[in-house]
Amino acid sequence: MFIHLDVGWMAHPFPLSSFKISTQDQIDTIRGLGKQRVRWSPEKSDLPPEGLDPHPAPAAGPTLPGALPAETDAARAARLRREALQASRARGALAERQFSEATKACKLTTELVSQRPQEARDQAEALSRALVDKMLGDQEICIRLLTEAAGDKASVHAVNVTVVSLLMGRTFGLSEDDMLDLGVGALMHDIGKLELPERVRHREEHFTTAETQFYQEHVAHGVTIARKMGLKPGATLVIAQHHEHADGSGFPLKLNSDRMSTAARIVSLVNRYDNMCNPHVPSRALTPHEALSLLFAQGKNRYDTAILGAFIRMMGVYPPGSTVQLTDDRFALVMSVNSSRPLKPTVLVHDPKVPRDEALLLSLENEAHLGIRRSLKPQLLPPEALNYLAPRQRVAYYFEPHIEVEEAPA
Amino acid sequence: MSDRDVRAVWAVLVEGLLDAVWLVDAVTQRIVAANAAAGALLGTDAATLVGRTAAELSATPEDLAFWHEVAQGLDEAIVSESLVRRFNGSVVPVTRRVSRVESDGQAVYVVVFHDRSAHQATQDELEHRLAELRATLESTADGILVTDLAGAIRGFNRRFASLWNLPEELLTQRDDAAVQAWMRRSVVDVEDYERRLAAIQDATLLQTSDVLSLHSGKVIERVTLPQCSRGQPIGRVFSFRDITEKLAASQRIEELSQTDTLTGLPNRRLLADRVEFALAMAQRNGHSFALMVVNLDRFKHINDTFGLGFGDRVLLEVTERIKGCLRSLDTVARLGSDEFVLLVHKADAAGAEATARRVIHAMSRPFRLDGVEFTVTCSIGVALCPSDGDNLDELMRRADAAMHRVKELGRASFRFHQPQADVDARSQMQIDHAMRQALVSGHFRLHYQPQVELATGKVIGAEALIRWRDPVLGDVAPGEFIPVAEQSGFIIAIGDWVLSQAVAQAAEWRDAGWPMPVSINVSALQFQQADFIERVSSALRSANLPPHLLELELTESILIHDAEDALHRLKALEQLGVMMAIDDFGTGYSSLAYLKRFPIGRLKIDRSFIRNLPGDASDVAIVNAIVQLARAMQLRVIAEGVETEPQRQFLLDAGCHEFQGFLYSPALDVPAFESRLGRPGPPGQPAVRLVSG
């Protein structure tokens, strides 16, 4: 039976709000939600055999494939591309809705912090729980690039860091409790900035020593707030250590890797990555690929090798959202990671001969002679390619159950 | 060859290459040879590199991933942009190419680096500049739109989008047509917008500035400048500024102000308030009051002659004089340039008359400014409340009509509103209507008054004069309907008719072998028509009349009105070959300087100077002066309205060339004219008849 849960996605533990029930566990969980009714879609459900169907299909309906006019190979390829793209965009839209709910919840939490810290904690934990619930289980989960990330800057940053950190935590096999702490800590990592004047909330190169000191104090403020909220030690540790580096070059305590919690090590890296991709001054933004390269080239020692390695495996060498030029000079946008072949992600290719809604979604793994020559900033794309690929100013990630995409012949 | 030998060969080979190169053993993934350039790139010597693993020297995830894939046999070549880390920790951008080479069963990977630092630095600088430029563009308060020469959009800032309320989807679509359509739909006057935009696009080097009203209520000032690169226009920059608030503010200020800025007198708004109050008082207490419209006579002439600044000082003096004629509780307001309105409380007809006389008397004293002495008279129209009306509009209209009546009757006086004047206005409408009918129905006729040479008594021409006999109204005198036609603009149609009629008549006479120059009167409005010269020339052409047989009589005021334009037209008419005369000479303002420059052939002395000849000494002096002047300027002079023999004799003695008038003949219809002058029967016979004076 294909059902729709008409409640916010945070109110249930399923990855999607609309899905086909396949296990008794799912039914039990739905019962546990305490809902009087759920909506279902007969057309998407496995219905009992003929005769019981209350809506027999009209005779003229498209029934037999043989009845359809013969489709040329090219037309079929275009249709498949269109469908693949549409499906991908539909999944994207769903992810965007969930992301937007998360940023709203995050904003609400932040607003509660100063007046009602304990309520804020409950909110943060609920949000973390909702995200973790959707990631637990055996199903393969992959990272998804969002085309639109709704919400204010601070909330988008917090949710972005939380989503990626939790995905990292999942690959490290963190326990459920650790995952929850990681989620809360990541959501609240910058909460201390509430105590700072706007001017020093974002580190600038020209900061004086005093200003830098001011800025760095957001960590201490964060810990104080975490205590007031009554956060768990694991989550508080993330807030306390999210600016420490593995080589002891971070602040405030210049801890090294050994004295940092795994969760803090993860958030320290992911936070840096997100700040590079989405800086306070948008013109200084790096592409995801540039950010990753720089983290790797300059920060090989700053970050735990295992964590950096896992991060690269998860994000790929060319993380989703990177605009690239292929070895045949075409421009493309990286859509998803190929974890076994990091140099061969799936890309959306700009081809003027192909309409935008039938754009090639190409897995480079299948293209022996095609590779990525370079990554570049979106503003360096020629206007036609920019329109076609439409990369976003702000890079935001969410996640989705892994789905095998039918590969359209290129 | 042994391994060692092979490697020696490779080492020599790579050393010869310009780019940084090292070779990686396919099996061990260790560097087996590196050239000096490679050492230099990494800030060490080449020997240090040999023996290290490829992964160890990888500075980027993609390099690491590539060597990982090589190890798994998944990949064997790559070309991409990457980074290398120097031994001092700094990072250098490079293009890195790896390919597999096999020789004698031994496989190596050739890794070639090309340093991109310089290129990267240039690009970074360029990006930086672009970002700065972008930031500048976004930091202006104006909406900016940049187009190329073809009008295609090259860019705009966010302020532009918000000014025009561009929908979000248009911002990302980059659909020029949609953006332009949106702008077109946003403006109130689409036609005007398109016309002006087309004009702007047409003139690549034009700088323009105008104001657009949008449906949203915004008023936008648009300034456009050509965008040039290397001296060549490459496009256009439009900047848009929201002036809605500025306009609203100035309008508000205007609304709040109740006084005239020049004189400090109450303006129309305050006057209206005071009149409202006076009306209320009048109703309650039964007092009457007077509203008087005071208009300076020929004030425009002062402005034209001495300049606006001088005129303003005259107005200040006038203000003081008028104020001096009123009680302190009465009001003087200034409505327009030289129009004042007086509100005189508790005044009946006698009171109003006394005030009007005081004003006229006060104005009669000569003015003296900057050593110039002159007189300013005024015309006053009076309306009384409640007898002439019980609201501001009605009182104003009636006082105004009375004032205009004063102007018509010779100015420098005052007049009460008279119901008769309204009747006049009604009959004016009747006349206007009947006149239009008359032209269609052919009720107009031209009569011709002979013009006679004083010395010889010979008829040398005829003035065409319009006559109207209406089946309903009877004979309507030109003095009655010409002013109406001038007011309504119908004079142009009448003038056209006169022109073609007179030209046709002159042509007929000439074709009959009886060449008779014909003069027609040209009104100011007709003369100022853009195609007047064309009309004259086509009338001549279609009747095939030699131009010298047509004379145009123009009044001085026509010529003085816009002297340069007039001169231009007169020259064109002269070019055409038609004759020109100044009508009613001596009654208007003439400038001798212009007179000299205008291609005029004849002056016509106004009948008012002739009437009292030869008894009136000043008329004698005037006529003598005019004749002397004309002779000095080599113009011919004709006197009109000559009715008596002594007048004729005087003019002859004075040296006047010609005359017309009842003494010789009134204006006659064509048959009478022909028989009076004895038109020769069959054409072809030269027949010039001498007439005795």
Q: Do A283 and B131 touch (CB under 8 A)?
A: yes
**Closest to A14 measured CA to CA, from A164, A178, A135, A175:** A135
Q: Which two tokens stand for residue B519?
A: 């003069």
CB-based contacts of A170, cutoff 8 Å, min separation 6 = A135, A141, A179
> Residue A53's pLDDT is what?
45
Q: Which pLDDT score is estimated for A68?
A: 52
pLDDT given at position B683: 45
In tens, the pLDDT along B614-673 reads 888 888 998 999 999 888 888 999 999 998 999 999 999 999 999 999 999 899 999 899
A117, A122, A128, A131 alpha-carbon torsion, rounded to 10°: -140
Contact assessment for residue B207 and residue B222, using Cβ atoms and an 8 Å cutoff: no
Per-residue pLDDT, A16? 59
| B→A interface, C-beta within 8 Å | 59-62, 64-66, 69, 74-75, 78-83, 85, 91, 127, 130-131, 134-135, 172-174
pLDDT at B530: 82
pLDDT tens figures, B186-222: 998 888 898 888 888 888 888 888 889 898 888 999 9
Beta carbons of A377 and B60 less than 8 Å apart? no
- Reported as a single tens digit per residue, the pLDDT across B224-250 is 998 888 888 888 999 999 988 888 887
- Check residue B370 and give its pLDDT: 84
d(CA A89, CA A267): 29
Q: Which of B42, B60, B95 to mutate to test the interface with A (most CBs of A within 10 A)?
A: B60
DSSP H or E segment with residue B305: helix B299-306
So what's the pLDDT on residue A382? 86
- Alpha-carbon gap, residue B679 to B509, rounded angstroms: 9
Instruction: Give φ, ψ of B225 to 5 degrees.
Output: -130, 145
CA atoms in the 13 A half-sphere facing the CB of B686: 0
Output Rg (C-alpha) for chain A, integer angstroms: 23
**Residue B686: pLDDT over 50:** no
Q: State the DSSP string of B180-229.
A: HHHHHHHBS-HHHHHHHHHHHHH-TT--EEEEEEBTTS-EEEEEEEEEEE
**DSSP 8-state secondary structure symbol assigned to residue A66:** G
Instruction: List, for residues B369-413, the tens digit of each pLDDT value.
Output: 888 888 888 999 999 988 888 888 889 988 998 898 888 777 788
| Residue with token string 């990494």 | B42
- Residue type at A297? A
Task: For residues A257 and B688, give the distance between their C-alpha atoms in angstroms, rounded to a whole number.
Answer: 131
* DSSP 8-class letter at A279: -
Report the Cα B78 to chain-centroid distance in Å. Answer: 70
ipTM, 2 dp: 0.73
- Please tell me the predicted confidence (pLDDT) of residue B687: 41
Q: Is A352 exposed, middle or buried (0-12, 13-18, 19+ CB in 10 A)?
A: exposed
Band (pLDDT 50/70/90 cuts) for residue B689 is: very low
Question: Cβ–Cβ of B59/A296 closer than 8 Å?
Answer: yes
Distance CA A135, CA A154 (A): 23
> Is B61 in contact with A312 (Cβ distance < 8 A)?
yes
pLDDT of A178 higher than 90: yes
Contact call for B83 and A293, based on CB within 8 A: yes
Which residues in chain A are contacts of B130 at CB distance < 8 A?
379
A395 to chain B, closest Cα gap in Å: 17
pLDDT at residue B472, as a whole number: 74
B342 Cβ neighbours under 8 A, 6+ residues apart: B290, B291, B292, B294, B322, B326, B330, B331, B332, B333, B355, B359
Encoding tokens for residue A52? 């019981």
Establish if A273 touches chain B: CB-CB under 8 angstroms: no
- Residues of chain B in contact with residue A293, where contact means CB-CB under 8 angstroms, are 60-62, 82-83
Pairing of strands A39-40, B518-521: unpaired
Cβ-defined contact of A371 to B78 (cutoff 8 Å): yes
pLDDT at A6 over 70: no
pLDDT (average), residues B253-259: 72
Region B110-129 average pLDDT: 89
pLDDT higher than 90, residue A159: yes
Question: What's the rounded Cα separation, in Å, for the pair B612 and B558?
Answer: 27
| C-beta atoms of B62 and A318 within 8 A | yes
Tokens of A199: 């001017």
Residue A144, burial from CB neighbour count under 10 angstroms (0-12, 13-18, 19+):
buried
> Residue A18 has what pLDDT?
67
Residues in chain B closer than 8 A to A297 (CB atoms): 59-60, 83, 85, 91
Say yes or no to pLDDT of A15 above 60. no
CB neighbour burial string for B57-76, b if at least 16 within 10 angstroms, e if fewer:
bbbbbbbbbbbbbbeeeebe
CB-facing half-sphere around the CA of B486: CA atoms within 13 A: 13
* pLDDT tens string B274-301: 898 888 888 888 788 999 999 998 888 8
pLDDT higher than 50, residue B684: no
Is the pLDDT reported for residue A37 higher than 70?
Answer: no
When the pLDDT of each residue in chain B is averaged and rounded to a whole number, the result is 86
Instruction: Give the Cα-Cα-Cα angle B99, B101, B105 (nearest 5 degrees).
Output: 150
Q: What are A333-338's contacts with CB under 8 Å, separation 24+?
A: A333/A389, A333/A391, A334/A145, A334/A288, A334/A289, A335/A88, A335/A145, A335/A361, A336/A142, A336/A143, A336/A144, A336/A145, A337/A142, A337/A143, A338/A363, A338/A364, A338/A365
Q: Where are the alpha helices (DSSP H) in B512-642?
A: 524-527, 532-543, 556-561, 563-576, 592-597, 607-610, 617-632
* CB B6 within 8 Å of CB B103: yes
Note the pLDDT of residue A110.
Answer: 92
Q: What angle, rounded to 10 degrees, do the helices at B392-408 and B419-441 form?
A: 70
For residue B312, what are the CA distances in angstroms to B293, B379, B476, B574?
A: 19, 19, 43, 39
Q: Is A406 within 8 Å of A84 (Cβ atoms)?
A: yes
* Furthest-apart CA atoms within chain B: distance in Å: 147
- Per the CB < 8 Å rule, is A318 touching B59? no
Q: Which phi and psi angles does B643 have, rounded to 5°? A: -120, -20
Q: What residues of chain A lie within 8 A of the CB of B171, using their CB? A: none
CA torsion angle for B627, B629, B631, B632 (degrees, to 10)? 160
Query: pLDDT tens across A213-256, in order?
Result: 889 999 999 999 999 999 999 999 999 999 998 888 889 998 88
Between A403 and B503, where is the model more confident? B503
Given an 8 Å threshold on Cβ–Cβ distance, is A375 in contact with B81? yes
Q: How confident is residue B549, by pLDDT bands cut at 50, 70 and 90? A: very high
Given A283, A298, A373, which is nearest B80 (Cβ)? A373
pLDDT at B565: 82
> Tokens at residue B314, please?
């005259």
Residue with tokens 């076609």: A388
Rounded CA gap, A86 and B43, in Å?
A: 51
> Is A164:A275 a contact under the CB 8 Å cutoff?
no
Distance from CA of B61 to the nearest CA of A (A): 6
pLDDT for residue A48: 53
Distance CA B554, CA A191 (A): 91
Residue of chain B with shortest Cα separation from A392: B172
Whether the predicted pLDDT of B691 surpasses 50: no
- Residue A95 near residue A146, CB atoms below 8 Å: yes
Q: What is the rounded CA–CA span in Å between residue B146 and residue B225?
A: 10
Burial B128-145 (b: 16+ CB within 10 A, else e): eeeeeeeeebeeeebbbb
Tokens 């705009």, residue? B156
List the single residue in A292, A298, A390 with the smallest CB-CB distance to B91: A298
| Extended beta strands in B26-173, E state | 31-34, 78-85, 91-103, 106-115, 143-148, 153-156
Provide mean pLDDT across the span A252-270.
90
Nearest to B320 by CA among B382, B387, B365: B365
Q: Is the pLDDT of residue B173 over 80?
A: no
Per-residue pLDDT, A270: 95
A341: nearest CB among B74, B85, B131: B74
Question: Three-state DSSP class for A77?
Answer: helix
Decide which of B422 and B203 is more confident: B203
Phi-psi region of B397 (alpha: psi -120 to 50; beta: other; left: phi over 0): alpha
The tens digit of pLDDT for each residue in B80-91 reads 998 898 988 888
Give the contacts of B290 (CB within 8 A, at least 6 positions apart). Answer: B342, B343, B344, B347, B351, B352, B355, B382, B383, B384, B385
A374 with B60: Cβ contact below 8 A: no
Distance CA B148, CA B235 (A): 4
pLDDT tier for residue B685 given thresholds of 50, 70 and 90: very low
Residue B466: which pLDDT band, with cuts at 50, 70 and 90? very high
| Interface contact flag, B134 A283, Cβ < 8 Å | yes
Q: CA of B123: which chain A residue's CA is closest?
A: A380
Asked if residues B638 and B451 have their Cβ atoms less than 8 Å apart, the reply is yes
Chain A, nearest residue to B62 by Cα: A317
Is some CB atom of chain B closer than 8 A to the CB atom of A374? yes
What is B444-481 written as a DSSP string?
EEEEEEEEEETTT-BEEEEEEEEEEEETTTEEE-HHHH
Give the closest of B65, B85, B174 to A343, CB-based: B65
